[in-house]
Amino acid sequence: MRFLHTSDWHVGKVLKGRNRLDEQRAVLREIVSLARTHEVDAVLVAGDLYDSAAPSAEAQELVVRALMALKETGAEVVAIAGNHDHPRTFDAYRPLMNVAGITLVGSVRTAESGGVVSFTAPRTGEPVRVAALPFLSQRHAIRAAELVTKTPAENSAGYDQLIRELVASLTAGFGDDAVNLVTAHLTVTGGAMGGGERAAQSIFEYHVPAGAFPADAHYVALGHLHRRQTLPAACPVVYSGAPIAVDFGEQDNTASVCLVEATPSTPARVTDLPLTSAKKLSTITGTVAELADRAAAHADDYLRVFVREPARAGLREEVQDLLPGALEVRIDPEFAAQVEVKRPSGGSEHATPGELFAEFCGERQIVDPRVQSLFTRLHDDVTAG
């Protein structure tokens, strides 16, 4: 059988105030096209379909249409909730999506109540079992462990032990007669962060060892870390990575989905399929003149710009006129003037508005006498009535 592994769509994510729904729509359309072209039997979406637990109506419509389009290719579609998603909302939509042939798993479930999804590969006929483990925060882990494993929480050694128990329970029915898959949204020890994750939910007590997954799993489809990577383990433990860079910390990541081929008796074979629909994120540095020379090469990019000139009034606007994709404009630290502004001897409560504004400009490393002059003129106009 063949299946696609994707995760971390983050539909609805805004970059520096820039709406990216059109980009996200193009990327999801590209994933649907790959599913159709490669005639896959299933698509696993390993969490964080949305960027927010309360997504906009437009974001919800885009995700629902994408899931339905994936199903229309003839593939089985299984999607789990990530830490950005709202698990109870996933569960609320579950009956309706089941009618459409799409399986959503929002909360941790027992194997018998939907934690294991079983089907026959539509095109090749192999039996398939998918153990589905949505994101589980530490504060909910004990309750879920009691539900699924019926093991007293007091006997658990920590979060990783709880995850081991959950995985063991969900994969207990794996056998040699089927393709055995696991999909989960979590951090595996030693995984490299992509640059845009919520660090508080990716480190310390939130990580688990790759050894938590059984050797008889043909493939473990993970979400949560945005960098494409495979972790060393007894079975393939794989992050597909995010299909679109969510911020400039991910600008060097390669966007892709994983095409996986497996049979009950052979190991999984993984091929990365690149995704090219999203805009490129780039960081560039230079003087205004140097940036002007490079404008054509970055005409279609979203940019973070470091200007190698001292700050002055109108500099940001000048750069954005040259580079319409410049979403963030900063002064290179080497050119950021260090200005020491002394407080008036009587303290700030006795300072004039002009002195307070000069102090503010100093703290922000804004050195331009025209700015102070403009403030003085505006202040005079206002106070003159």
Its sign, for the CA torsion 352, 353, 354, 355, is positive
DSSP 315-374: HHHHHHHH-TTEEEEEE-GGGS-----PPPTT-GGG--HHHHHHHHHHHTT---HHHHHH
> Residue 349 above 70 pLDDT?
no
The pLDDT tens digits of the residues spanning 35-44 come to 999 999 999 9
Paired residues of 19 in beta bridges? 14
Alpha carbons 278 and 357: distance in angstroms, whole number: 42
User: How would residue 144 be classed by pLDDT, with cut points 50, 70 and 90?
Assistant: low
Q: What is the mean pLDDT of residues 46-60?
A: 96
Q: How far is CA 324 from CA 78, 278, 291, in A?
A: 39, 17, 12
Q: Which two tokens stand for residue 2?
A: 């063949």
* Per-residue pLDDT at 98 exceeds 70: yes
Measured distance CA(159)–CA(166) in Å, rounded = 11
pLDDT of residue 156: 37
Q: Record the pTM.
A: 0.82
pLDDT score recorded for residue 148: 56
- CA distances (Å), origin 243, targets 24, 42, 154, 317: 9, 18, 40, 31
- The backbone region for 241, taken as left when phi is positive above 0, alpha when psi lies in -120 to 50, beta otherwise, is left
Fill in the amino acid letter for 186. L
User: Residue 348: is it exposed, middle or buried by C-beta count within 10 angstroms (0-12/13-18/19+)?
Assistant: exposed
pLDDT level of residue 369 (50, 70, 90 thresholds): confident
Domain ranges of the chain: 2-274, 281-383
- At 146, the pLDDT band (50, 70, 90 cuts) reads low
Under a CB-based contact definition with an 8 Å cutoff, are residues 34 and 73 in contact?
A: no
Name the band, by pLDDT with cuts 50, 70 and 90, for residue 344: low
Distance, in Å, from the CA atom of 67 to the CA atom of 175, rounded to the nearest integer, reads: 29
Strand partners, 15: 18
Query: What pLDDT, on a 0 to 100 scale, did the predictor assign at position 197?
Result: 56
* Tokens (6 digits) for 15: 């970059």
Mean pLDDT lowest among 71-75, 149-153, 155-159? 149-153
- Whether pLDDT at 130 is above 60: yes
Res 138 pLDDT > 70:
no
- Give the pLDDT band of residue 359 (cuts 50, 70, 90): confident
Helical (H) or strand (E) element with 76: strand 76-80
Give the pLDDT of residue 362.
Answer: 80
Share of the chain above pLDDT 90, in %: 71
Asked if pLDDT for residue 153 goes beyond 60, the answer is no
Residue 152 — pLDDT band, cuts 50, 70, 90? very low
**Mean pLDDT to the nearest integer, 239-257:** 94
| pLDDT computed for residue 150 by the predictor | 46
Q: Check whether 336 has a pLDDT greater than 90.
A: no
* pLDDT at 340 > cutoff 60: no
217 phi and psi angles, rounded to 5 deg: -80, 130
pLDDT for 38 equals 98
Count of other CB atoms within 10 angstroms of residue 76: 23
Query: What mean pLDDT comes out for the span 77-102?
Result: 96
Q: Which spans in 12-86 are helix H?
A: 21-37, 57-72
pLDDT band at residue 201 under the 50/70/90 scheme:
very low
The yes/no answer on whether domain 2-274 falls in CATH 3.40.50.10440 is no
Higher pLDDT, 150 or 64: 64
Q: What are residue 332's DSSP bridge partners?
A: none
Task: Write the pLDDT tens digit of every residue in 281-292.
Answer: 999 999 999 999
pLDDT-wise least confident of 132-136, 352-356, 367-371: 367-371
- Residue 155, pLDDT above cutoff 50: no
pLDDT at 204 over 70: no
Is residue 273 over pLDDT 90? yes
Residue 140 has pLDDT above 80, yes or no: no
Q: Token digits for 105?
A: 């798993």
**Mean pLDDT, range 8-19, rounded to an integer:** 95
